[in-house]
Amino acid sequence: MVSVRSLASLRDDNAGTPPLVRGRPRDADAVLRRAVASVASFARAHPDLVILGGLLLVAVLVRGAFVFRAPLFLRRDSVAYFQSGYALANGLGFDLPLRRTPLYPLFVAGVVWTLGEDLRGLAVAQHLLGLVTVAATYWLGTAMFGRVAGALAGLMVALSAPLLIHEHYILAEPLFIPLLTLGLLALVYAIRRDRGRLYVLGGVTLALAALSRPIGQALLPVAPLAILVHTRSIRSTLRPAALVLAGFALVLVPWTIRTAATSGQVGGAGAVGQSLVGRIVRHDEGFVLPSPDSAAPTGDPRQAEIRRLILTQMARDARPSAINHRIRTVFELSEAEANARMQAVAIEIFMSQPGRYVEGTLAKFRRLLVGEDERLRVHWSTRKDGELRDAWTDESRIAHLYAPPSAVEELEYPTAEALTRIFQPHAWSWLLAPLALLGLGWGLARGPRGASVLLLLTVLALVFPSAALVGYVPRYRYPIDPLLAVFVGGGAMALASLGRLAYARWGRRGRAGRTMPAPV
């Protein structure tokens, strides 16, 4: 028989053991609360890490869902880029056409050598570079306008349909855009902290961007002008500007010397003629072409014959690359000489119709800034285009890698298209454009003035030469999308600041009116 004292002792022994509530200890809620508090504490201590992790997670989910649902997209430039990189990866030399810069083919070579020949490996590598762009945009926006502005800018880049689509092209833009954004980020930090190493790093990174796309060379004067605006003193500008230019020279001078030694041309200058002819025959229908038999501005009979052939081919709407190849074949010219002759003919046409040239350039500049709605079907069709297929398969080294979209990819097309409809900046231009202008104005008026000028001049340096030399090619504007997103974030913060100021001013008046004593 159990005594009362024994029962009491047993009850006391079990008093410290928590009873089970629905199969779990009662203190599980306390554990959960402690875990939530720990996470909240970590977020407060490391807000940048948490926000950046969230942005990268969004970017990874979007790109991961897209990368295996669509074939890599192509342009005519894709063939030369990939073939050069593929040949280098397989020990077949590095034969780069005159109008191509080397860094993207080197990137292709590295991907092929590391991940193999499957084009999906290149797609994955390029979308990983897209994550770099997202992170760099966040830090750029944060450095200029604060953490919330950086988060908004990073989110826009993470979801941007044009950037997602063009990361999926065999083109230099997937490499150029992250390098551009990183270079500007380094310069913004350099301007704000006056660190010499950051100035050099910014110059080196922007020079690498210029080795990805020749238009990057237009950024050479941008940093010194932005530094001058920041310091407001020519004397204080000399040292940091010299450091940036030294960074540029460290990368560009060796390649310029190599190009001059092999082709007689400096950098990508030899491609200007072909681009200008393309502007006339493919991107601007307003020019009147001279008759092939009209008097040539030169008395050299050979140059007159070359001019006649160029004008004849332009009248037939031939591709600039085809014109270049034709005059090289007929007159036994080098690639640089052929481009020089095409440049002379294009300038002759522009000089005879300067009003048409200026009007067309400004119109194309406006269109490039506005952008357009990017439809996936247009880009998808590049893997079905007969001319692009023939251009690729004509190259025996890489012909085996070409294939139209597979049956599985065609079935996945609706999902891939839905991913590109999440955020189309052009559809929101009615809101984004005013916010970007407000952010630019806020930065110029309230600061950071030097960094704002840096981004503004970069936008102008990239877009205006593209309009003037090439015409309306929408992909030429997408490198500036992260910069515009930063200004949009700044505009949102400016709007919030103005709203707080207005509320403080008018709210105080309203409260004062309510507390005034009633008249006697």
Alpha-carbon torsion (295, 298, 304, 306), positive or negative: negative
CA dihedral 303, 305, 311, 316 (to 10 degrees): -150
d(CA 122, CA 116): 9
This prediction's pTM: 0.89
Low-confidence ranges of the chain (pLDDT < 70): 1-26, 98, 262-270, 507-520
Spacing of C-alpha 439 from chain mean position: 20
Question: To which residue do tokens 């139209």 refer?
Answer: 404
Q: Which of 193, 80, 55, 232 is nearest to 131 (CA)?
A: 55
**First-last CA distance in the chain:** 91
Residue that has been written with the tokens 């100035």 in this structure: 199
C-alpha 495/C-alpha 300 separation (Å) is: 63
What are the tokens at 405? 């979209």
Q: Answer whether 166's CB lies under 8 Å from 476's CB.
A: no
In this prediction, residue 265 carries a pLDDT of 58
DSSP letter, residue 298: S
| SS3 track for 217-230 | HHHCCHHHHHHHHH
Instruction: Check if the beta carbon of residue 165 is closer than 8 Å to that of residue 376.
Output: yes
pLDDT at 511: 61
231: its two tokens:
């310091």
Q: Tell me the per-residue pLDDT of 115-130, one tens digit each, with 9 for 90 and over.
A: 999 999 999 999 999 9
pLDDT at 266: 54
CA distance 158 to 170: 20
Angstrom distance (rounded) from CA 126 to CA 123: 5
**Residue written as tokens 């950071």?**
448
Residue 480 CA to its chain's centroid (Å): 6
Cα separation, 293 vs 312, whole angstroms: 9
Residue type for position 412:
E
Q: Which two tokens stand for residue 150?
A: 């950086």
Question: What gap in Å lies between CA 397 and CA 392, rounded to an integer?
Answer: 10
Q: Which residues contact 251 (CB under 8 A, 6 or more apart)?
A: 204, 207, 208, 210, 211
3-state secondary structure of 2: coil
Q: Give the C-alpha separation, 82 to 519, whole Å.
A: 84
- What is the number of helices (H) and of strands (E) in the chain? 23, 2
Backbone torsions φ then ψ of 219, nearest 5 degrees? -80, -5
